[in-house]
Amino acid sequence: MGRDPLPKRVPISRLLVPLICAAALCSSVARGAEGDANDDAQWARTRAEAMKAYKSQVAPFVSTYCGRCHAGNHRKGGVSFQTALKNPAGASFKLVWERAAGQIKTHNMPPDDEDDQPSDSERAAVVEWIAGIKRLSPKDPGLFVIRRLSKVEYGNTLHDLLGVDPQVARDLPDDVFGAGYTNTLSPMLMEQYLAVANEVLDRALAPPGAPPTAVQQRLFGDDPGTEADRKVAAQKIAESLARRAYRRPPSEAEVDLLVRVFDLAAGQGKTYPEALRLMLKAILVSPQFLFITPGPSDQAEEAHAAGNVVPLDDYQLASRLSYLLWATMPDAELSALADAGKLHEPDVLAGQARRMMADPRSQELFEGFGAQWLGLDKLVGKAFDPGKFPQMNRDLRAAMYDEARLFFDSILRENRSLTTFIDGDYTFLNGTLAPIYGMEGTVSGPAMRRVKLSDANRGGILTMPGVLATSSFPNRTSPVNRGVWVLEQILGEHIPPPPPNVPALDKQSEQSVATLTVRQRTEMHRANPVCANCHKVLDPIGFGLENFDAIGRWRDHDDSGGAIDATGELPGGKRFGTPRELKRIIAAHSDEFCRNLTGKLLAYALCRQLEGYDEVVADRLADATAGDGYRMQTLVVGVVTSYPFTHRRLASRGETAHAK
Amino acid sequence: MRNNLRISRRTCLRGLGVALALPWMESKAWADPSKGAAYKPPVRLGFMYMPHGVIMERFWPADPASYLSSPPPILEPLRPVLDQCLLVKGISGVPIAPLNGAPHALELSTWLTATLPDTERRDVVNIAISADQVAANYVGGFTPLPSLELATMPQTHMEHQEGLNEAYYSHCSFRGPTQPMPAEINPRVVLKRLFQCREAGPAGAKTATASDALDRSMLDLVLGGARDLRGTLGAADQHKLDEYLDSVRSVERRIAAIQQRQIDAAKAKAGVRTGSRAFHDSAPIEIRIPEGDKRSEYMQVMCDLNVLAFQTDLTRVSTYIGSTPNGVSYPELGFADEHHSVTHHNYDPVKLDKVTKINAFNVAQFAYMVKRMASLKEGDGTLLDNCIMMWGSGLEDGNKHAREHLPFVIAGKGGGTLKTGRFLPDVKANQGDLLGTLLTCAGVPQDRPIGNATRPLTEMIAM
């Protein structure tokens, strides 16, 4: 069952032979019963320790320093710890604690006019505990709610199933991804699914009277001629089509229903191919096709599930893995392993993940995950001042996007260290992008190619033009946005939003600031103590990147004519004077970076926001990845073999994904 | 009665270089003819949104007396139809504490819900059914489309304000508390959706009808199968599948409504009276899809589609997000500033002028739409007479994110329910009150208040 040689979804030729690797040993890989018992015991011990720390340190801290305004009947600013104090690990209080940590860490709280101030060591202890609040969570894989295919997944799946161009789905609305994955369905979308189904069938199948297409011949076979034989054939076709389209064996009832659709059309005088066409249309608008649903065999297991947790069946696992790495339905090899009931074996699963990463289709991980993480998905639609940056046309934006995509792919497929994202000494350029690097003399033509960088101020995502451009304003850089980007997307810090009623920063007239550099203007934040708490960390990082203009070109002076001052100091007294030195400081935080990327990838893989119990898993995955030289494939294999990826908790009665 | 005053058989939809057949446009029935009731066009309800609020002093009229003669600069584009508009000042938005850090995620999502999202589980959508969808649930059964949702930007902006689900940022219509309604941003797709345009002659249209009927029966079977599947799933999965069931039923209803119109059309051709539509009503407007990327043209073609959908009674409820809160700029106005950043003007006169221009630009697009409605005859009056078109923003003022006096313009007489040509300077009410009152005027009964509503705004209503 090969992929159809029709329109190619993946433009890159397959250069790499699939790697066959033994499974990586990773602390979180699913293990046998004994391993599970050990794991459960360790989980329980950690919880008990965390609860002890909570009772002895945190509860007293909150009562002493916060209680007067934020406990009991007091809800100053809408913030209360009253219920969080009773159930500190409750999922809904995660945000309360995280925000509290931010306020305590930045000395915003308790307010300065409060006499009773915690010592720095008390602050540090509480902040650290809050970071570890996840350890109070019981072991839990979380819910795995049936999920609608995204627009991209839907188009790719139609391609794999029927050989049509995935662009057939282009008119569907784009999905909103992110931790809070929106996958709702609306009447409009349903109409569009029906319309796309019609379009797909028009393209894949021959019009009435015409000889069958190759796809049609493969799916439907020959017309058996008699009515009775046709019905038998229709049932077989229904079975095989549904097996592929539903990505699992259909139940008897599901096949029966499809045969009834066939009968419906045949009963109204439709020809055999027309009746089969209607059956195929029914498949394409069925929930089993549009959603990833558990197979019928899973129901039996649910009845016997201990602790309300079941492993994913092999078919669900195949889909989950395939949609994560390839954004399409499982291929023949994955399907065969699912049929054989072997896919859930940790070695097999890890081996498949490695095979899939080596395949060019794994570029979908960048399209779905990497582009969002880096913010590159915003580049196409972002406004730039055409007077100032006339070169920011479609070609340049596309080249910037491709640069990031190829860089991400190289790290994934060549199994490089994650630190390459920060300090890589190579990139991908074409003739359009080269002038941004000042390398128009050495690189020309439309094709992107790998280029070694000799200037250490360049290389890595911090200084990549696409990234620098998305975090800029249409007409100038934003050191603040760049600082926030590095802290949040690289190091995983949570930056609290500016407090309401920010005092006016630039009451000055345009003229009085016109002669100041962006840096000088930005530094006015620091004059206000409320702003300074956060901006003393944010701004210096942005200043360190000020040598790059709003579209990523090197410069020594900014628009005001003033010389760029890229020096700065970060908390802990780490100083830098150039982008290169800033990168070196950031690169030294490889553990934070690895942990941050692990959390983001795990959330993407699970299609949901991480809960405390997932954060514990992410900690272990990050440790294991760090222990293996921060290798990208180790991280991905860790995620797909992790407990929450391979298991699911069954919803209790009345519990929904949206439960309050 | 079979004469050239009928809606023309084929209406040219230009811009694509093709003429698209509208096979079932020939006849429309406003009211059940068997009752022999007097011809009364239905009331249509439309909403159009602009983010980030207005410059208050340049939006609100100085006083009720000067409202018509000297409108403030932002309302200037509406001057020709001001006598058909109603301005109500003193409508407060939903207080957003404790979500103070999410003014822009909430300006749009609270606009038609008058409700704050669930603050406990912020990562998932949980708010309330929006006013337009309350209306669609009631009047949507009469038309092929229960409601029409339009926008001019993808609804995919991601900003994790206050940890809230990204969908809050760019959606204002919610079919239920957990189900944001996507809006269509491509005028070609809207056109296709409205008319299921098929480039085929009468023969093609006929087979299409037959295949529609077959589709409906097929969907019936699929629905049955989906219900069986639902029975085997856990609670959370069932909840998800309910959206599917609801959506498929809606598609079925739509196919049925189209079939009914085709039957009516056939009867009309045979000389059988099927509806009470007045024959001197204007012919359907033409749609011209712009080829450049001028924002005004883009916004106006969406306005045209809205007008056409109302005029031909394809739907009676529409929501048009003129722009979402992020990233729009207006090069046509001669400056590159992004809408959002320039609204943080700190009273800088240059920025105040720019925001004023952006506000007036948006009002001008709304004015384009309602003026067009006012030019179309319907029954004894105009299409606008039978509409309630609400334009507004979910913030009073983008500079400080204030929400005390949200800007609204109501255009149209709502079939005689609204007393227009007035400025009510101090109504002291909230967003839910306003939405509830407009629904009542559109004939939509409510079994519970819209969001934070407390009272009907009787001062708006024609006695």
- What mean pLDDT comes out for the span A470-490? 90
Report phi then psi at A401, rounded to 5: -65, -45
- Other CB atoms within a 10 A radius of the CB of residue A87 amount to 11
Q: How many residues appear in chain A?
A: 660
Q: Which stretch of A137-141, A600-604, B96-100, B192-196 has the lowest confidence by average pLDDT?
A: B192-196
The 3-state secondary structure of chain B reads CCCCCCCCCCCCCECCCCCCECCCCCCCCCCCHHHCCCCCCCCEEEEEECCCECCHHHHCCCCCCCCCCCCCHHHHHHHHHHHHEEEECCEECCCCCCCCCCHHHHHHHCCCCCCCCCCCCCCCCCCCCCHHHHHHHHHHHHCCCCCEEEECCCCCCCCCHHHCCCHHHHCCCEEECCEECCCECCHHHHHHHHHCCECCCHHHHHHHHHHHHHHHHHHHHHHHHHHHHHHCCCHHHHHHHHHHHHHHHHHHHHHHHHHHHHHHHHHHHCCCCCCCCCCCCCCCCCCECCCCCCHHHHHHHHHHHHHHHHHCCCCCEEEEECCCCCCCECHHHCCCCEHHHHHCCCCCHHHHHHHHHHHHHHHHHHHHHHHHHHCCEECCEECHHHEEEEEECCCCECCCCECCCCCEEEECCHHHCECCCEEECCCCEEHHHHHHHHHHHCCCCCCCCCCCCCCCCHHHECC
Residue the block writes with tokens 């699963």: A349
Backbone angles phi, psi at B45, to 5 degrees: -125, 120
Sign of CA dihedral A372, A376, A380, A383: positive
> Residue B400: pLDDT band by 50, 70, 90 thresholds?
confident
Cα(A469)–Cα(A396) distance, integer angstroms: 11
d(CA A607, CA A593): 21
First to last CA, chain B: 37
Q: Using the 8-state DSSP alphabet, how is residue A490 labeled?
A: I
pTM equals 0.81
Higher pLDDT, B26 or A43: A43
Average pLDDT over residues B395-422: 93
* Per-residue pLDDT tens digits for B299-312: 999 999 999 999 98
B233 touches chain A (CB under 8 A): yes
**What pLDDT sits at residue B33?**
44
Radius of gyration of chain A (CA): 28
Q: Is B297 in the A-facing interface, judged by CB distances under 8 Å?
A: no
Query: Cβ of A111 under 8 Å from any chain B Cβ?
Result: no
Cβ of residue B402 closer than 8 Å to a chain A Cβ: no
pLDDT for the residue numbered B2: 29
How far apart are alpha carbons A645 and A608 in whole angstroms? 11
Closest by Cβ to A146, choosing from B123, B241, B251: B241
Asked if the Cβ–Cβ distance from A176 to B155 is below 8 Å, we say yes
Band of pLDDT at residue A514, cut at 50, 70 and 90: low
| Closest A-chain CA to B328 | A383
Query: Is the pLDDT reported for residue A24 higher than 50?
Result: no
Q: Assess whether pLDDT exceeds 60 at residue A443.
A: yes
Residues within 8 A of B (CB atoms), A 225-264 only? 253-254, 257, 260-261, 264
Per-residue confidence band for B28, with pLDDT thresholds at 50, 70 and 90: very low
What are the tens digits of pLDDT across the range B37-95? 556 789 999 999 999 999 999 999 999 988 898 999 999 999 999 999 999 999 999 99
pLDDT at B112 over 80: yes
Q: Whole-angstrom Cα distance, residue A253 to residue A255?
A: 5
d(CA B186, CA B347): 37
Distance CA B185, CA A61 (A): 52
Q: Which of B97, B166, B237 lies at the smallest CB-CB distance from A178?
A: B166
Structure tokens at A429: 């350029």
Query: How confident is the prediction for chain A on average, in pLDDT?
Result: 85
Contact A188 B184 (CB under 8 A): yes
Q: For residue A33, is pLDDT > 70?
A: no
| B179 contacts chain A (CB < 8 A) | yes
Residue A463 token pair: 């200084």
Give B198-254 pLDDT, tens digit per residue: 433 333 344 456 677 899 999 999 999 999 988 888 777 888 888 899 889 888 887
Please tell me the predicted confidence (pLDDT) of residue A248: 94
| Mean pLDDT calculated for residue range A248-270 | 95
Q: Which residues in chain B have their CB less than 8 angstroms from residue A265's CB?
A: 214, 218
Buried b (16+ CB within 10 A) or exposed e, A135-165: bbbebbbbbbbbbbbbbbbbbbbbbbbbbbb
pLDDT band at A511 (very low <50, low <70, confident <90, very high): low
* Interchain pair A282, B327: CB under 8 A: no
A541-568: average pLDDT: 91
B462 touches chain A (CB under 8 A): no
Q: Are B392 and B49 in contact, with CB atoms under 8 Å apart?
A: yes
Q: How confident is the model at residue B164 (pLDDT cuts 50, 70, 90)?
A: confident
- Helix residue ranges per DSSP H, A22-162: 33-53, 59-61, 67-70, 82-86, 94-105, 120-131, 151-162
Cα B51–Cα B56–Cα B62 angle in degrees, nearest 5: 140
How far is A122 from A60, CA to CA, in rounded Å? 11
CB contacts < 8 A (A, B): 220
Instruction: Return the C-alpha torsion angle A426, A431, A436, A442, nearest 10.
Output: 60
Mean pLDDT over A494-520 rounds to: 62
Tell me whether strands B429-430 and B422-424 are parallel, antiparallel or unpaired: unpaired
Taking contacts as CB-CB distances below 8 angstroms, the residues of chain A near B226 are 286-287
Residue A401, pLDDT score? 97
Run of H or E including A574: strand A574-576
